[in-house]
Amino acid sequence: MTPSSPHVLVNVNGRYITVAHGTTVAAALALAACGAARTSVSGEPRAPVCGMGICQECRVRVDGNVRLACQTLCAQGMLVEPMA
């Protein structure tokens, strides 16, 4: 990808995908077909619900830091890992 490229390459749970600039991590999760941002205490996959950061269901690790997927834009080379 060149600096002027309209796309970025991100690693979502071990799978590399290309998304458009301005794509949220929540959307990248859906595009990567995993959809889940974290796993509940009972082991159920949890996905983004509200899309505006209120519900906290979209918590993920982005480059080792906890972030809300619905409020974080994808960046070139970003590593996104669902929370356990």
Task: Tell me whether residue 1 is in a domain.
Answer: no
Task: Tell me whether residue 28 is in a domain.
Answer: yes
Task: Tell me whether residue 45 is in a domain.
Answer: yes
Q: What is the pLDDT of residues 38-80, one digit of tens each?
A: 888 898 888 888 989 899 889 999 999 999 999 999 999 999 9
pLDDT reported for residue 2 = 52
Q: Within the chain, where are the H helices?
A: 25-31
Range of the domain at 47: 7-82
Task: Tell me whether residue 68 is in a domain.
Answer: yes
pLDDT reported for residue 1 = 52
Number of domains into which the chain is organized: 1
pTM value is: 0.86
Question: What is the residue whose two structure tokens read 């830091």?
Answer: 65
Task: Tell me whether residue 75 is in a domain.
Answer: yes
**CB < 8 Å & 24+ apart, contacts of 52-61:** 58/25, 58/26, 58/29, 59/83, 60/25, 60/29
Q: What is the CATH number of the domain that holds 71?
A: 3.10.20.30
